[in-house]
Amino acid sequence: MTAHHPTSHTAARVRRLEERLIAAGLTDDAELDGIITRFLAGASPLNGARIVARAWVDDDFRARLLTDANSAIADVGLSMRSGLQEQRLTVVANTETTHNVVVCTLCSCYPIGLLGPSPSWYKSEAYRSRVVRDPRGVLAEFGLHLPEETTIVVHDASAESRYMVLPRRPAGTDGRTEDELAALVSREGLIGTALV
């Protein structure tokens, strides 16, 4: 993966940039602090998990989610309008025969508001280059060993279009509440590197 260089040199570069942009009147400390606070408070895989749980208990919601995710997620109080431009969300459902997994080969596109900050492995050249060539092998490295007969579909995200996986509802979860179901869903399940 890409090396991290959290050096004092880089931190000094950031300070110089920040001072320059503040001096130019383009931002200020309060705005920057507010952006970080809101990001850390709001962006979480719990959002994606709530969407999944609703789809597991409500067939009408599930159908709308799979055809027009952007409008459907408003039902659970979410939107893809976190930045300046609304990003198109496509939700892809795992089935008995098909498993979906998401990547951004060009950079790191990811529905950050629904899944939380993206993990370093998702942004690494190693994952981005290999998951489209050998998805079965990459999933196995995550401990997800899919049967040979399962079709794996890899979705390559872009700046305008983001993907989220709708995992299959685990067996033996009848009668659970939506909140209990949401608690079963992991970030990896929403990316497709885990079953749920």
Partner 1 sequence: MLLVVSRVNDVGGQTGFGDFTVEPDEPPFHADWEARVYALNAAMLRRGVYNLDQFRDAIERMPPADYLAAGYYERWLTAIETLTSGHDDG
Enumerate binding residues for partner 1 (CB under 8 A): 1-6, 10-11, 13-15, 17-18, 20-21, 23-27, 31-33, 35-36, 39-40, 83-85, 103, 105-108, 116-117, 119-121, 123-130, 132-133, 141-142, 156, 159
Active site residue 109: yes
Give the residue with the Cβ less far from partner 1, 43 or 165: 43
Angle, CA of 17, 22 and 25, to the nearest 5°: 130
Q: Is the dihedral of CA 3, 144, 64, 116 positive or negative?
A: negative
Residues 145, 135: Cα–Cα separation, whole Å: 11
Give the residue with the Cβ less far from partner 1, 42 or 170: 42
Smallest distance from the beta carbon of 159 to partner 1, in angstroms?
6
Give the residue with the Cβ less far from partner 1, 57 or 106: 106
Q: Of these residues, 44, 79, 82, 108, which one is catalytic?
A: 108
- Strand 161-166, strand 98-103: pairing: unpaired
Smallest distance from the beta carbon of 43 to partner 1, in angstroms?
8
Identify the burial level of 40 via C-beta atoms within 10 angstroms of its C-beta, where 0-12 means exposed, 13-18 middle and 19 or more buried. exposed
Distances from the Cα of 121 to the Cα of 5, 54, 107, 175, 191, angstroms: 16, 28, 12, 36, 12
Active site residue 107: yes
Give the residue with the Cβ less far from partner 1, 32 or 57: 32
Residue with token string 């709708």: 166
Q: Of these residues, 107, 120, 129, 161, which one is catalytic?
A: 107
SS3 61: helix
Smallest distance from the beta carbon of 10 to partner 1, in angstroms?
6
Active site residues: 104, 107-109
